[in-house]
Structure formats: C-alpha cells, structure tokens
Amino acid sequence: MAENHLAELADALVVDFPLRGEWYAVRSPGSRVPSHGTDVLAQRYAFDLQRLGPNRRPHPAGWVRTLVLGVPMRECFGWGEHVHSVLDGVVVAALDGVPERTWLHPARELWHAAAAGVKFQPTAAGVRRLVGNHVIVRSNAVYAAYAHLAPGSVRVDVGQHVKRGDVVGLVGSSGNSTAPHLHFQLMDNADPLVARALPAVFASYDVWRHGQWQQAQNSVPTTAEHIRLMPSED
C-alpha cells in the first residue's frame, strides 16, 4: 500500500473478514483512498468483495458469451455465499425484498450503475435504491454495513444480537450493483447520509503470492490480490 493509505489506516479497527472461500477486493482502500472515488455515503474506506474466476471473469462462461449474450445472475461466482458479521453487536437496520436482475449483461449493468449515480437523491429512499438489501450492525460506536445482499436472504432482524461469524445474509446483486458482490464498510452512524467513514483492517486472511497461500494479519488487500479465508478458521 502507498504511504498515504498506510497513514489513514494506522488507527483502523481490526475486524474479521466477512466472507469465506476465495475472493478479490475489486475496490479497496488498500489500493486507493477514497476506495470508491468518493466520500459520499461514508464510502471512503469501503470494500467491494467479489469472487472471480479465471481471467477475473464473473461467470464460468467465457468473456465473449458474457459480454455479448449475458449470463444468469445466480450462476455468477460468489452469488449466494454466506456473509458473516465481522463484529459482535446488535442489528440496527435490516432490509430485504429488493429485487435484483435475473440476467447479468456487463454493458447494461454499467449503464444502470452510471444512471443510478446521476439520479441519486440524498434521501433515505435514495440510499435504499443504491444499497439494495442490506444489514447494519452496531458494535459500541461502530456501525458495520453489508450491502447488495440477495433477495430473501437476510437472516437477521432489527434488535437481534449477533456474534462474530454469524451469517447475516447472502451475497447478491441488489441495488446499484454491476455483478454479485459484497459492499462492506464501517461508519460512525447508522445513517450513511450523515455518517463518517471508519477505516478497517482484517484480522486474518490468506493472500496468493509466489505460487502459494501466505497469511496476512491486521492487513488490507489490494485490488490485485487473490485472497481467501477458509471456513475452518471461523
């Protein structure tokens, strides 16, 4: 990570990794800050975690079929995988029932994402349209947000206490999403319209380097790194 990234993450909160298996942080403060190119909605240190196949494609089909014809959303890598709470806490927001498109066509998804960004209104309804199905868990003064969950997959209710590792929902592509992935961020308020972003580092995960998996601790992946956390480490 560049020195400015390290400086901003120096006092980051250490949390568990929210997924199991192999992933890429396709947007990460490990590569740039703000990770999503904006501080709007407390996204400064947010992660987009996506499972990708060979040549970083989102679906088992080749790029030609994916780009020209599109592919079923639910056949994409990572769709339906468990999303785990990174902290002990209490659920302060849980929204389900937002639909997602059944067919992934990359050009269309990018167009929809761009249009949604242009049309975004800074209201509660506007936020819901962007984040889709989501869960927010409060742990003392920290709020962990998990967004773009699959329809019908939210496993928790407002007021419910959760522990690290508990499943809160499943990876999906609801809201302003171009492919199945988990958007994860920490905030100092449950309302992203007024919240400030809080940096996080992951307590432990593996990175594929030099032909083998190597453990990383209290660290942040870059967008180039192939990472994993095996279920046995729960």
Mean pLDDT, contiguous 10-residue spans, the chain (234 residues): 68 97 97 95 97 93 84 96 98 96 80 62 85 97 98 98 98 94 98 97 97 96 97 60
Domain annotation for the chain: domains and CATH numbers:
3-233 (2.70.70.10)
Closest C-alpha among 144, 110, 150, 109 to residue 132? 150
Would you state the pLDDT for residue 233? 47
Would you state the pLDDT for residue 3? 55
Would you state the pLDDT for residue 64? 81
Would you state the pLDDT for residue 66? 85
Task: Say how far apart CA 106 and CA 129 lie, in whole Å.
Answer: 19
Please count the CA atoms within 13 angstroms of the CA of 147 that sit on its side-chain side: 24
Residue 75: left (phi > 0), alpha (psi -120 to 50), or beta?
alpha
Q: Are strands 200-209 and 13-15 parallel, antiparallel or unpaired?
A: parallel
Would you state the pLDDT for residue 2? 45
Determine the length of the chain. Answer: 234
Would you state the pLDDT for residue 4? 65
Contact yes or no for 207/171 (Cβ under 8 A): no
Both tokens assigned to 39: 């501080």
Distance, CA of 96 to chain centre: 16
Q: Is 204 helix (H, G, I), strand (E, B) or coil?
A: strand
